[in-house]
């Protein structure tokens, strides 16, 4: 477990969760190696810090933009930049164009999970003006066990498992390791999954659940979240 802490009086469970996620980012999972997963996080940071590209301007279309020895395929880098800076512009046609470039649909789901987590954790740090969580060294052992799941395309563009609950919980279900990471982050920065549908009255730290939902709805609107 990471000992990551910040210099501000941030809730200790937030620091702990962000540190745990950094360790999980360095853990090889279903489709991407440890080195590749850490490269995803590094590329997210590059996309956040760089001058913003237009949604239709893919990094792979710019000569010299992607290093020849980059551990990630060009299509994955295009996904990272589009998800990081223009998530409201995604279309099914764009997704299908990515899959046609030899990105497996389940690998795409894992990529989405990583990019979403990295944006959430880093933009949290940036918004408070604190240091971003350090990235650990790659972990050689594949501790993220991938069970055999029956997945199919039903209510999403991507394959999902037959799980109960709202679609937002189903989206990453084809990669349980990333669903677990989402739960770690959601529980400390939002509310625990168990309270998602059934508890609209409790207070969570300094905010009530209704106040949390107001902030969440406004943030989603500003980020052009079509969900």
- The count of residues in the chain is 227
Domain borders along the chain are 12-147+176-189, 197-227
Please give the DSSP secondary-structure letter assigned to residue 139: P
Burial 47-62 (b: 16+ CB within 10 A, else e): bbeeeebeeeebbeee
- Count of alpha carbons within 13 Å of 101, Cβ hemisphere only? 16
pLDDT-above-70 percentage for the chain: 88
Nearest Cα residue to 4 out of 191, 41, 177, 13: 13
The pLDDT of 189-203, averaged and rounded, is 72
Nearest C-alpha neighbor of 110 from the set 226, 189, 24: 24
Burial 169-202 (b: 16+ CB within 10 A, else e): bbbbbbbbbbbebbebbbebbbbeeeeeeeeeee
Nearest CA among 72, 7, 87 for reference residue 41:
72
* Range in 11-25, 113-127, 145-159, 170-184 with the lowest mean pLDDT: 145-159
Question: Each residue of 100-112: b (16+ CB within 10 Å) or e?
Answer: eeebebbbbbbbb
The pLDDT tens digits of the residues spanning 27-66 come to 998 899 999 999 999 999 999 999 989 999 999 999 999 9
Does the pLDDT value for residue 11 go beyond 70? yes
For the chain, give me the number of helices (H) and strands (E)? 8, 4
- Whole-angstrom distance, CA of residue 146 vs CA of residue 31: 10
pLDDT digits over 76-111, tens only? 999 999 999 998 899 999 999 999 999 999 999 999
Let me know if 115 is exposed, middle or buried by CB neighbors in 10 A (0-12, 13-18, 19+).
buried
End-to-end CA distance of the chain: 33
Residue 1 confidence (pLDDT): 47
Rounded Cα–Cα distance for residues 104 and 102 (Å) = 6
pTM for the whole structure: 0.88
């Amino acid at each position: 477990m990471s000992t990551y802490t910040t210099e501000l009086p941030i809730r200790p469970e937030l620091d702990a969760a962000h540190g745990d996620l950094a360790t999980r980012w360095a853990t090889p999972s279903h489709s991407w190696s440890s080195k590749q997963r850490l490269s995803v996080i590094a590329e997210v940071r590059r996309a956040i810090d760089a001058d913003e590209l237009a949604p239709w301007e893919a990094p792979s279309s710019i000569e010299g933009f992607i290093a020849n020895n980059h551990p990630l395929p060009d299509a994955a880098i295009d996904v990272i930049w589009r998800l990081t800076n223009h998530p409201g512009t995604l279309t099914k046609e764009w997704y299908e164009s990515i899959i046609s470039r030899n990105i497996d649909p389940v690998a795409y789901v894992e990529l989405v999970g990583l990019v979403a987590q990295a944006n959430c954790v880093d933009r949290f740090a940036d918004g408070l003006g604190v240091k971003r969580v350090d990235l650990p060294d790659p972990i050689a052992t594949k501790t993220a066990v991938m069970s055999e799941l029956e997945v199919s395309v039903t209510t999403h563009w991507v394959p999902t498992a037959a799980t109960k609950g709202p679609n937002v919980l189903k989206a990453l279900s084809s990669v349980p390791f990333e669903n677990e990471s989402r739960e770690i982050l959601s529980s400390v920065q939002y509310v625990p999954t168990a309270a998602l549908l059934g508890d609209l009255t409790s207070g969570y730290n300094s905010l009530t659940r209704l106040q949390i939902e107001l902030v969440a709805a406004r943030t989603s609107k500003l980020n052009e979240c079509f969900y």
